[in-house]
């Protein structure tokens, strides 16, 4: 039933809980689709943050916290304050990413990554932060957010005030993260069961 559309973040959280539970991992709690940032699953492996993304040339982007209290159009903050605000919101040990490849019209490939949250790509202090300059209204040379130069692996971070100052991590490289790949699978873009089939499967 999940095959006809890409798996969403809320659905991935529920699937992830089932995978952990059936693998003998004790699940203490889950966010159950809540849109609050941070931990989604608390289990005996640690605290997990679930994310979904789509590949683009073997890289993918991940959205993270909203940082309006630390930086906005009216109060830009400083680079040190941005780093502190990001670190203050991190309340989990692992990222659990489900990244999809939709290049084929007939199938979707999913890759599951389990990555420590202190990996350099997710450490704001590992980046060199600088104001993002753009045009707002008739004003020129106005700060519209924050950006960073990429790390050697290619990843970078960015914040745009007009997008609720949401933190984005750009161009995470699948080759750089291959050691954290847990599993992959490919599914056809057609549902295996319809609702009548599912009812017939019930005990």
Ranges of residues in the chain whose predicted pLDDT is under 50: none
Average pLDDT across the chain, whole number: 91
Q: With contact defined as beta carbons under 8 Å apart, do 37 and 88 qualify?
A: no
Per-residue pLDDT at 5: 83
Per-residue pLDDT at 35: 55
- Count of beta carbons in the 10 Å neighbourhood of residue 134: 15
* Cβ burial, residue 1 (10 Å; 0-12/13-18/19+): exposed
| Of 96, 89, 114, 61, nearest in space to 81 by CA | 89
């Amino acid at each position: 039933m999940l095959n006809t559309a890409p798996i969403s973040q809320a659905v991935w959280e529920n699937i992830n809980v089932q995978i952990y539970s059936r693998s003998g991992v004790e699940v203490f709690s889950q966010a159950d689709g809540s849109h609050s940032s941070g931990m989604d699953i608390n289990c005996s492996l640690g605290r997990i943050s679930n994310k979904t993304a789509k590949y683009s040339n073997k890289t993918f982007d991940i959205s993270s916290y909203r940082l309006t209290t630390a930086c906005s159009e009216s109060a830009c903050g400083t680079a040190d304050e941005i780093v502190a605000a990001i670190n203050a919101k991190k309340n989990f040990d692992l990222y659990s990413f489900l990244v999809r490849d939709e290049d084929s019209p007939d199938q979707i490939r999913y890759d599951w990554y389990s990555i420590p949250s202190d990996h350099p790509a997710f450490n704001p202090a590992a980046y060199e932060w600088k104001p993002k300059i753009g045009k707002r209204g008739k004003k020129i040379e106005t700060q519209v957010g924050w950006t960073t130069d990429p790390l050697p692996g290619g990843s970078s971070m960015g914040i745009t005030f007009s997008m609720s100052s949401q933190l984005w991590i750009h161009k995470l490289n699948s080759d750089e993260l291959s050691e954290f790949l847990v599993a992959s699978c490919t599914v056809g873009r057609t549902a295996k069961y319809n609702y009548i089939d599912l009812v017939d499967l019930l005990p």
